[in-house]
């Protein structure tokens, strides 16, 4: 059975820091017990630091361990910067009352990813949605919510879309969209026309690729593929796969699971239209909505 990662008790900077310190310890041929005996840090604390589960890692602890492992100054500065990031307030913390359990984990991964590989057969991915399209979905999904609650959730989604246009550490994102998404009416023809033109315009950005998996491709993988997002990270942080549905989400971090998803995703890529034909098709369908 695939593994379901529980990353809720840690963050990406903590995991990066923990893995780096573990690698440094092992490079010196030391065990946790040996380090604990020679330093002022208990074995339990060392273990939690290496697992990325210690929320209060201080600069002095990172500096102390790094020098004990004889790391160079540049590496020590980098690890201390990671420790600082681990305790920094994330941008979406102000929206935490709107975020479903476990989606908080995905947002943290999304914030630090360097590359995204999306496949969506049902609905326009959140990072590509216009506010009107997102608002329509929120009203359908939560008909009893107040207008303020809906608008706050839409604002959260619009905040997320900024990752595609950020100047610092720009992400690389590829979206594979099943063609039926383009014909699935959400809200009104005007909303859909504007939405599809927005997608086509985004696809002209250097860091964004949007490709359509046409009806004529059939089932390239031989089975029904769920919506999924492959996330790659800097500094050799292991890749993960995130999947979601109406009743819950799963995050896969087992290397074999990720490898399998990547192979299936590549099969979908091979069956998809190239960038310019995809853009042309999206704009053609947008014009139909606008007529």
Band (pLDDT 50/70/90 cuts) for residue 98 is very low
Band (pLDDT 50/70/90 cuts) for residue 169 is confident
pTM: 0.73
The answer to whether the CB of 131 falls within 8 A of the CB of 158 is: yes
| Residue of 111, 150, 139 lying closest to 127 (CA atoms) | 111
More confidently predicted of 166 and 117: 117
DSSP 19-75: HHHHHHHHHTT--HHHHHHHSSS-HHHHHHHHTT--TT--HHHHHHHHHHTT--HHH
Pick the CATH number of 12-86 from 3.20.20.100, 3.40.630.40, 1.10.260.40, 3.40.50.2000: 1.10.260.40
Residue 214, SS3?
Answer: coil
Tell me what the mean pLDDT of segment 256-276 comes to.
96
Band (pLDDT 50/70/90 cuts) for residue 287 is very high
Q: Is the pLDDT of residue 92 over 60?
A: no
Predicted confidence at residue 85, as pLDDT, reads 65
Predicted confidence at residue 103, as pLDDT, reads 64
Predicted confidence at residue 266, as pLDDT, reads 97
Predicted confidence at residue 102, as pLDDT, reads 57
Reported as a single tens digit per residue, the pLDDT across 119-163 is: 999 999 999 999 999 999 999 988 999 999 999 989 988 988 988
Q: Tell me the C-alpha distance between 182 and 71, whole Å.
A: 53
Reported as a single tens digit per residue, the pLDDT across 17-65 is: 888 899 899 999 999 999 999 988 889 989 988 888 787 788 888 899 9
**Sequence ranges of the domains in the chain:** 12-86, 92-290
Domains 12-86 and 92-290 share a fold: no
Assigned architecture for domain 92-290: 2-Layer Sandwich (3.30)
Q: Is the pLDDT of residue 15 over 60?
A: yes
The pair of three-digit structure tokens given for residue 231, joined into one six-digit string:
């996330």
């Amino acid at each position: 059975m695939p593994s379901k990662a529980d990353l809720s008790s840690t963050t990406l900077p903590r995991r990066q820091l923990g893995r780096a310190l573990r690698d440094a310890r092992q490079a010196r041929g030391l065990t946790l017990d040996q380090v604990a005996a020679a330093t002022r840090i208990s074995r339990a604390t060392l273990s939690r630091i290496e697992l990325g589960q210690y929320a209060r890692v201080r600069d002095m602890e990172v500096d102390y361990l790094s020098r004990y492992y004889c790391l160079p100054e540049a590496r020590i500065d980098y690890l201390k910067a990671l420790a600082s990031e681990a305790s920094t307030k994330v941008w979406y913390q102000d929206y935490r009352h709107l975020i479903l359990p476990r989606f908080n984990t995905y947002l943290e991964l999304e914030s630090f990813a360097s590359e995204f590989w999306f496949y969506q057969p049902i609905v326009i991915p959140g990072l590509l949605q216009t506010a009107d399209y997102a608002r329509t979905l929120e009203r359908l999904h939560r008909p009893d919510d107040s207008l303020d609650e809906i608008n706050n959730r839409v604002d959260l989604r619009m905040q997320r879309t900024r990752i595609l246009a950020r100047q610092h550490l720009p992400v690389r994102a590829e979206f594979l969209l099943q063609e039926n998404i383009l014909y699935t009416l959400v809200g009104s023809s005007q909303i859909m026309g504007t939405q599809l033109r927005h997608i086509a315009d985004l696809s002209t950005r250097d860091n964004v690729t949007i490709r359509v998996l046409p009806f004529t491709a059939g089932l390239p993988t031989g089975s029904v593929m769920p919506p999924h997002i492959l996330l790659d990270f800097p500094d050799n942080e292991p890749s993960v796969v995130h999947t979601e549905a109406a009743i819950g989400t799963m995050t896969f971090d087992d290397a074999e699971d990720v490898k399998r998803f990547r192979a299936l995703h590549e099969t979908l890529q091979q069956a998809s239209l190239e960038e310019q034909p995809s853009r042309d098709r999206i704009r053609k369908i947008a014009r139909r909505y606008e007529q």
